[in-house]
Amino acid sequence: MPPTLSKARTQLKALARDYGLEVDPDAIIENLSVGQQQRVEILKALYRGAETLILDEPTGVLTPDEADHLFRILGKLRDEGKTIILITHKLREIMAITDEVSVMRQGAMVKTLTTKDTSPGALAELMVGRRVLLRVEKGPASPGKVLLDVENLVVTDDFKVPRVKGVSFQVRAGEIVGIAGVAGNGQSELLESIAGMRDQLLGTIRLNGEVLSLEGDDGAARARAAGLAHVPEDRLRMGLVTTFSEWENSILGYQHSYGTGPGLDIAMARATAEEYIKKFDIRPPNLDLKTANFSGGNQQKIVLAREMERNPDVLIVGQPTRGVDIGAIEFIHNQIIKMRDAGKAILLVSVELDEIRSLADRILVIFDGHIVGEADPATADETELGLLMTGSHASSGKETN
């Protein structure tokens, strides 16, 4: 090994030891967990002598234990005299780790506070401009018949590598089933397969007792026709055409119901979009504004309105509040609960464990393409869920309905 590389290796090992950033220096990056990859990024900054670290939503793809470990590292860096700037919408993290907090709203800095002198409720009100309910209010579920039945599903990624490996579960009318897991463990491929956007290698998907044939380019259209609606994980890549106007995006996937043949009943489509704008409080209320010019929260509302208002039997939702402000989060959560109470079956995937625990009536944990455990949100232990999410208890897990 050249002297310069040997010296760098020695320095990095010392930094890792001093700051609790243990990572195998010979490991291939793609083989490391997301949490370990994040440690590598921090090590890179420290090796270069950085005095200020800026972290943007650093816990979005971490388990609770990994997030706690990250916070311990950040605390030590602060105590060593480093400046840490944490950008996050998670109030629990702000209260747990920061010394000072500045709140931005609509592109302007509205207030700077000493963290110990404020509260989550006060911060939420500053962020949104009104009082916000920070908990999900819902009654007990009343599950009915099975509406979504997934049996022995095997799905591959774009490189033909299996990502969903023999998964089986059911979702009943009037319940929300949450899929918890660290990003990259097969949940994206699972949702895309059920929605008809990705072919399944093996397995059966039934909707309302009927087998769904989802293969081919029109699989998603057949899924919609059978009563399934899909809010994708990435609204910009899969949920919207950002160069299209608001009213055009409000009918995407359902445009064939607005006229026959080559004709499109534009007046009907615009009237539908106007109704969605009012019901979902989409701002600005401009039918002709390009979707790219809406905020993330309002873009998400456009997708949610389009899918929820079609009265589906089954709704599958990926990352329902990713990149969304607290006010929109409250609204979106309420809409999901209303659908559950109306007797719909909802499959929810989120990397936000707090969101899963708040919304779901049952939690399924996915690791390396397998369902490795089931938990009751009312009694679920965060540490236990975190261990399942990292595969630490995978050997004792089993497929579950």
Rounded Cα–Cα distance for residues 389 and 358 (Å): 18
In 3-state terms the chain splits into helix, strand, coil percentages (rounded to 5) of: 40, 20, 35
DSSP element (H, E) containing 345: strand 345-350
Domains and CATH numbers, the chain: 3-98 (3.40.50.300), 146-396 (3.40.50.300)
**What are 213-253's pLDDT values in tens digits?**
888 889 999 999 999 999 999 999 899 999 999 999 999 99
* CB neighbour burial string for 336-363, b if at least 16 within 10 angstroms, e if fewer: bbebbeebbbbbbbbbbbebbbbbbbbb
Paired residues of 155 in beta bridges: 164, 200
3-class DSSP state for residue 134?
coil
Q: Give the pLDDT score at 261.
A: 63
Closest CA to 298 of 239, 343, 210: 239
Question: Counting beta carbons within 10 angstroms of the beta carbon of residue 309, is it exposed (0 to 12), middle (13 to 18) or buried (19 or more)?
Answer: middle
DSSP element (H, E) containing 346: strand 345-350
Q: Give the pLDDT score at 396.
A: 42
Q: Give the pLDDT score at 134.
A: 66
Q: Give the pLDDT score at 241.
A: 97
Contact present, 71 and 96 (Cβ < 8 Å): yes
| 3-class SS letters over 295-323 | CHHHHHHHHHHHHHCCCCCEEEEECCCCC
Residues 6+ apart with CB under 8 A from 383: 64, 65
Max mean pLDDT range (11-25, 126-140, 235-249, 384-398): 235-249
Q: State in Å, rounded, how far the first CA of the chain is from the last one.
A: 53
Rounded Cα–Cα distance for residues 81 and 50 (Å): 11
DSSP label of 277: H
Using pLDDT thresholds of 50, 70 and 90, give the confidence band for residue 398.
very low
Q: What's the pTM?
A: 0.80
Which of 325 and 73 is assigned the larger pLDDT? 73
Contact present, 233 and 319 (Cβ < 8 Å): yes
Contact present, 219 and 276 (Cβ < 8 Å): no
Q: Give the pLDDT score at 382.
A: 83
Count of beta carbons in the 10 Å neighbourhood of residue 394: 16
**What are 155-168's pLDDT values in tens digits?**
999 889 999 999 99
The residue type found at 344 is K
Residues 6+ apart with CB under 8 A from 58: 38, 70, 86, 88
Residues 6+ apart with CB under 8 A from 193: 153, 155, 164, 199, 200, 205, 214
